[in-house]
Amino acid sequence: VLFDSFTLGRFTSFTEDGCPDGYMQIQEASRPQVGGSWCGTSWGPSIYYSETKSITLIIRLLHLSKDQNNYNFDFRMAYKVLRRDFATVRYGGTPPSERPYFKMKPLPYPVNISREDANVARPTKTPDYYLGDLISGTYCSRIFSDCDRKNCRLQSPNFPGVYPRNLTCYYAVRQHEVPQGKHALIVVKQPNGQLVSIRSQKALYSTEQERGNNGRELKFWQQCDEVQDYVTVYDGYTTRDPVILRFCGGGVAVPEAISSGPELLVEFTTSPFGTFLQPATAQSLHGFQLEVRFVDMQSPTYAKNKRACEFWIRGTGRGVLEHPQHSLPPNTTCLYHMQGIDTSGPSGRNIIYRRPSFSAPRFRVWFSVLKFYVTNALNPNLPEDEYCGSHLNIWDGPMRISPGCSDIFCDKERSVQMSRATSPQSVIVGRPPTNATLVARFCRERAPRTCEHALLRRSRACAKTESFLSKGDSLTLELKLTQGTALKPVFFKTLYEFVDLHQDGEPWGRGPCSRRFSSRSFPEAPPDPPVNFSSPRDVCTYRFEAKPGEVIRLRVNGVRSGGRLCRSVHSAHSPDVGDYEFTSTSTVAELKFDVVNMTATDDFRSFGFEASVEFVRLDWNCKDSHHITGA
């Protein structure tokens, strides 16, 4: 239906009693009546595309103007029936007029057509859109599923024409099939700004500023309350879930809104009253593209709890930590709890010579920030952050809540007392610190200590001045956001490593890692299996002391030589080092581990060894006794 001109009473408001003189309503067959009203005056063409095969226009005039020179009731419209396969803007596909037409005709002589030529000549067909399944009893609410295998599109009702008034549509998106070991994220976006136009202002005529940008502007959050036509994106399947984006307007690309899980809800709301008169050229189009992304399930790239952005990284290894891969609402605080702890459980390896009074932490957390970047706001009308608004804090120690330090120049020596964690997720070993100390703050205006060169290929290792080392076994990362990341994305990338300080044996000698193993510290029965030990990350000497009547049996299971050519003493013709067993002839033996010419890229993974030791008692069973004397 084309409304070439339309005059029906006065239009006074979008929300309350907006059509006092009369109104027009449009009803769709087999759809519930929504009750929205149109009135006022417009001179430009407005097009309405039906959702069904039949529509009814209801026009009611309540008050006729007494002034004969000022008519308040006049309209001129035209209509046309369009076949579904021609409605490619709504349903996708290729129009019939553009489809290739083939007519069989014999060729006069054989023609060789290469595979490449055949591919070039083959016409491309635009796939049909999947517009979701309409929920029974609703006008426009739809359910979408498994959009990774479908060409999903979210559209306003009656797209690409004007949308109805007094309407609320829900678009529920869910990903059912997820590859094993992966986690699904739903992405809703519209890179083509010309496909979005949601009324955002009460003005019926263009202002000087709007003429400059042709009405192309997106508005967000409270800026959309003027007309109350807007789109809201929820991080979940219900309206009780966190809101990650709300916008109106159009003419420019809509930023990505990414859910934290396999469910996302989009809500489209319009005010009860409306008019066809627009301050700019009417382009009442509204459509979104959907995309499904998969991330590793066991990775701190998404928040498992929508109400709390909290991550737990525990273990004995190392890795890369990045910003959440989904959108976060404004005023969000994310906590990354990092704790060094042996999560492998009982493995048969006996840790010996552990003093009961030992209170120093076994692990320490090494941490380095490679980059921290806060982008400019995608909407220039958004208020600028205060100095260091969105920032990243590094706390030395465990914490469960965000501390109340509002000053960005908090004293590094200031400690914030934290309550002990009561969550079953909180695994605290030994005697952890009961406070957390702020050691660094990163924001757009300041970056105290970074290691950017580590992003390059074959870069040197991060120096002490480019990284942090915790005093205990815990370190906490706190990301505070003043604005949502859908409109003002925040990116960071860091390296971390849990440094294991445990060494088998007892301290001995002057070396930092020289150790002593004595038989008297073992139980009476020799351990079974033999006690294992491994080399720490330095040049070391291991001393083994047996009791009288015992010998030392040492088995070296493997040596890591950093990829260099290494030849064993007992087999000089083989470049590989296999298992080696040594049995002493006395009660004392020493094993020296020496590494030379280590580079900045080498660590304990490059050079090291693993071995086991047994103290074996010898039984002297002689059949005959001999007494020999001599000079």
Same fold? 133-296, 309-345+360-500: yes
For the segment 381-391, the average pLDDT, to the nearest whole number, is: 71
Cβ contact 389:333 at 8 Å: no
Where is mean pLDDT largest: 40-49, 296-305, 501-510? Answer: 40-49
DSSP state of 42: E
Digit-coded pLDDT (tens) for 434-493: 478 899 999 888 888 888 888 887 677 888 889 999 998 999 999 999 888 888 899 999
pLDDT grade for 297, boundaries at 50, 70 and 90? confident
Give the C-alpha separation, 563 to 81, whole Å. 75
Q: In the prediction, which pLDDT does 316 show?
A: 84
Range name among 91-100, 305-314, 410-419 with the lowest pLDDT average: 410-419
Rg (CA), the chain: 37
User: How far, CA to CA in Å, does 126 sit from each of 91, 94, 151, 530, 578?
Assistant: 10, 6, 10, 68, 62
pLDDT at position 4: 84
Q: Which amino acid is at 282?
A: A
* Residue 337: band (very low, low, confident or very high) from pLDDT cuts 50, 70, 90: very high
Domain regions of the chain by residue span: 2-86, 133-296, 309-345+360-500, 506-617
**For residue 534, is pLDDT > 80?**
no
Q: How many CA atoms lie within 13 A of 391 on its CB side?
A: 23
- pLDDT of 412 reads 36
Question: CATH: 2.60.120.290, 2.60.40.150, 3.10.180.10, 3.40.50.280. Which one for 133-296?
Answer: 2.60.120.290
pLDDT at 317: 85
236 or 109, greater pLDDT = 236
So what's the pLDDT on residue 150?
Answer: 87
The DSSP line for 447-513 is -SS--GGGGSTTPPPPPGGG-EE-SSSEEEEEEEESS-TTTS-EEEEEEEEEEE---SSEE-SSSSS
**Residue 365 · residue 477 · CB < 8 Å:** no
The pLDDT value given to residue 211:
47
Q: What is the mean pLDDT of the chain?
A: 77
Specify the pLDDT at position 91.
87
pLDDT in tens, 403-437: 444 333 333 333 333 333 323 333 333 333 347 88
For 171, the token pair is 């678009």
Q: What is the pLDDT of residue 431?
A: 33
Quick one: average pLDDT of 75-89? 87
Give the distance from CA 426 to its chain's centroid: 23
Quick one: pLDDT at residue 172?
Answer: 95
pLDDT one-digit tens code per residue, 123-166: 456 678 899 999 999 999 999 998 888 888 888 898 888 899 99
What number is the average pLDDT over the span 26-50?
A: 88
pLDDT of residue 480: 93
Torsion sign (Cα): 112, 117, 121, 123:
positive
Q: What is the residue type of 610? A: E
Phi, psi of 564 (to 5 degrees): -85, 160
DSSP-assigned letters across all residues of 220-275? EGGGGGTT--EEEEESSSSTTSPEEEEEEEESSPEEEEE-SSSEEEEEEE--SEE-
> pLDDT (tens digit, 9 = 90+) per residue, 607-621?
888 888 888 887 766
Residue 180 three-state SS: coil
Q: What is the pLDDT of residue 195?
A: 83
Interval 572-625: pLDDT, tens: 555 555 678 888 888 888 888 888 777 767 777 778 888 888 888 877 666 666
Alpha-carbon distance of 598 to 615, in angstroms, equals: 34
**Any idea which architecture 309-345+360-500 has in CATH?**
Sandwich (2.60)
- Exposure of 23 in the CB half-sphere (CA atoms within 13 A): 19
Please state, in angstroms and rounded to a whole number, the distance separating the CA atoms of residues 160 and 431: 65
Alpha-helical (H) ranges within 68-219 are: 88-91, 115-121, 208-213
- The answer, yes or no, to whether residue 351 has pLDDT greater than 50, is no
Q: Which residues neighbour 563 within 8 Å (Cβ) at sequence distance 6 or greater?
A: 606
Cis check: omega of the bond before 403, within 30 degrees of 0? no
Residue 121 has pLDDT above 50, yes or no: no
Architecture field, domain 506-617? Sandwich (2.60)
Tell me: pLDDT of 280 over 80: no
